[in-house]
């Protein structure tokens, strides 16, 4: 574990202190602060409505459910359980670009939540027309950019972010499996019985 911790700190310093550019600072702050970039999620919801029409509601609901699950695991369970101190408080000479309360570091809920949304969108749109495939790629890159921004601004280790991404992907996949089971075993039989097919 000590070796993994050392590698995590080394990679954090590389990304936070060396692989940087002043022109990227504002972009990373924009990506990492929900108050600044949250309207992008409104545009995402609008895209889903335009492309899916009446069937957009289950997609949006599933995305919200996946985010809630990912946030619960990352912030509600792992942070108080692991109690890892954020790098901006644990290390010297960290480039801290945002005001950060003294909450725990592992795992990154920003990375988990954005990965959950991106995974749900991938599930529903990656096989569609070009515009939907392009949208899926953009959202996956957006989620990765949010994850990277957490290291760049000095509030998370790479390990926190990687764990967050895995939590987000896993939460979205689990949410979709539950949704599919409920649809197949509960909702569809009821609809068929109501319409006289069973």
pLDDT bracket for residue 136 (50, 70, 90):
very high
Please give the Cα distance from 168 to 15 (Å, whole number): 22
pLDDT digit string, tens, across residues 32-43: 987 777 788 889
- How far apart, in Å, are the Cα atoms of 179 and each of 38, 45, 48, 86? 26, 19, 18, 35
User: How far is residue 69 CA from its own chain's centroid?
Assistant: 11
Query: Is the CATH code 1.10.3430.10 the one for domain 27-194?
Result: no
Residues 155, 98 contacting (CB under 8 angstroms): yes
Find, among 165, 171, 176, the residue nearest to 112 by Cα: 165
pLDDT digit string, tens, across residues 55-93: 899 899 999 999 999 999 999 999 999 999 999 999 999
Considering the entire predicted model, what is its pTM? 0.91
């Amino acid at each position: 574990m000590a070796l993994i911790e050392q590698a995590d700190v080394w990679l954090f310093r590389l990304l936070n202190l060396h692989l940087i550019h002043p022109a990227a600072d504002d972009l990373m702050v924009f990506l990492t602060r929900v108050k600044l970039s949250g309207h992008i999620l409104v545009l995402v919801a609008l895209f889903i409505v335009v492309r899916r029409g009446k069937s957009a509601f289950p997609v949006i609901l599933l995305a919200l459910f996946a985010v809630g699950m990912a946030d619960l695991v990352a912030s509600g369970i792992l942070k108080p359980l692991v109690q890892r101190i954020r790098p901006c408080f644990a290390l010297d000479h960290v480039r801290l670009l945002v005001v950060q309360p003294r909450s725990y570091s592992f795992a990154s809920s920003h990375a988990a939540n954005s990965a959950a949304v991106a995974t749900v969108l991938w599930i529903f749109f990656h096989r569609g027309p070009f515009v939907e495939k392009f949208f899926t790629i953009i959202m996956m890159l957006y989620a990765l950019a949010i994850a990277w921004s957490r290291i760049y601004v000095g509030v998370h280790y790479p390990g926190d972010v990687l764990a967050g991404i895995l939590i987000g992907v896993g939460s979205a996949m689990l949410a979709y499996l539950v949704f599919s089971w409920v649809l197949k075993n509960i909702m569809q039989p009821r609809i068929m019985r109501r319409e006289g097919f069973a």
